[in-house]
Structure 1
Amino acid sequence: MRVIIEKDYEKLSKWAADHVVETINRFQPTAERPFVLGLPTGSSPQGMYVNLVKAVKEGKVSFKHVITFNMDEYVGLPESHPESYHSFMAANLFNHID
């Protein structure tokens, strides 16, 4: 494990997104060999998601062959509920990427 300490939230968010982009691209995912990515929820990673969406729109990365799973979810809360983490991820990332 590597700990990254950054005093500025924007710089940290950009660093985290760049790290994800570089790791996905280095892996070179395909339909037969997808990249699997665990994603956190809540306010802390929102800046990273903004930067990931920007990277997709700029053509720097594709999520076409990336499988994700959330690290959190509320038990018994339907996916469609606006307070579910499924809804959070859709609003902050999935609705904006390929």
Structure 2
Amino acid sequence: MRVIILKNAHEVARWSAYQITKKILKFNPTKEKPFVLGLPTGSTPLATYRELINLYNEGILSFENIVTFNMDEYVGLKPEDPQSYHYFIK
């Protein structure tokens, strides 16, 4: 196991977003061969998602040929429920 020690949560979010970005760019997704990305729900990964958005806005990353799925969304929750992914992305 490789352990990465960083100074704070912001550095962790930035590091993880760059790792995800490196994998996507190396994979070089196409319409015929999309990159599949599992996204955990809840508040923990939100800072990483914000960093991914920043990379997109900077033109470094595209989500055009990326298929995502939420790994642990609960069935039957309304978007306004605090346990729902939609609650956190407002």
So what's the TM-score if we normalise by structure 1? 0.78
Q: For 1:43 and 1:21, how far apart are their aligned partners in 2?
A: 20
Q: Which runs of 5+ in 1 are unaligned?
A: 93-98
Match of 1:36 in 2: 36
Match of 1:82 in 2: 80
TM-superposed CA distance for 1:2, in Å, is: 4.4
Match of 1:61 in 2: 61
SS at match of 1:56: helix
Structure 1 position 46 matched with structure 2 position 46: yes
Q: Which runs of 5+ in 2 are unaligned?
A: none
Q: For 1:16 and 1:34, how far apart are their aligned partners in 2?
A: 20
Q: For 1:39 and 1:88, how far apart are their aligned partners in 2?
A: 15
Q: 1:55 to 1:88 in 2, by over 3 A?
A: farther
So what's the TM-score if we normalise by structure 2? 0.85
Match of 2:10 in 1: 10
Q: For 2:3 and 2:71, how far apart are their aligned partners in 1?
A: 19
Count of matched residue positions in the alignment of Structure 1 and Structure 2:
88
Cα RMSD, aligned residues only:
1.9
